[in-house]
Amino acid sequence: MKKMTKQQLIEQISERTGLRRSEAKKAVEGAMQVISQALASGENVYLRGFGTFAVRNVGERKARIVATGAECIVPAHRTVKFKVSEELKNALNK
């Protein structure tokens, strides 16, 4: 499966918008910082036509270490879940 790196994303934005590569890099990094800070403070981030990044609380649970078979406790933590928008879902399935 192919993947796009951050550098490739910056190059694509630069080409499509006419921004210099350094400006596109600042824009991408700035957007990532804003999204990260919002999620860290517990806010969900909704991008119309793209999807929603939502903070999710995961409870404590028991797990098993595969190598040894020993049980361990995975502590409660927060994570991010992405839910794709209907528009993007439709575009992917055309």
* pLDDT at residue 28, rounded to an integer: 96
Nearest 5°: the CA angle 11, 1, 29 is: 30
* pLDDT at residue 44, rounded to an integer: 97
pLDDT band at 1 (very low <50, low <70, confident <90, very high): confident
CA pair distance 35, 24, nearest whole angstrom: 17
CB environment 42-77: b (16+ within 10 A), e (fewer): eeebeeeeebebebeeeeeeeeeeeeeeeeeeeeee
Is pTM beyond 0.85 here?
no
Q: What is the largest CA-CA distance in the chain?
A: 56
List pLDDT tens digits, range 4-63. Answer: 999 999 999 999 999 999 999 999 999 999 999 999 999 999 999 999 999 999 999 999
* pLDDT at residue 59, rounded to an integer: 95
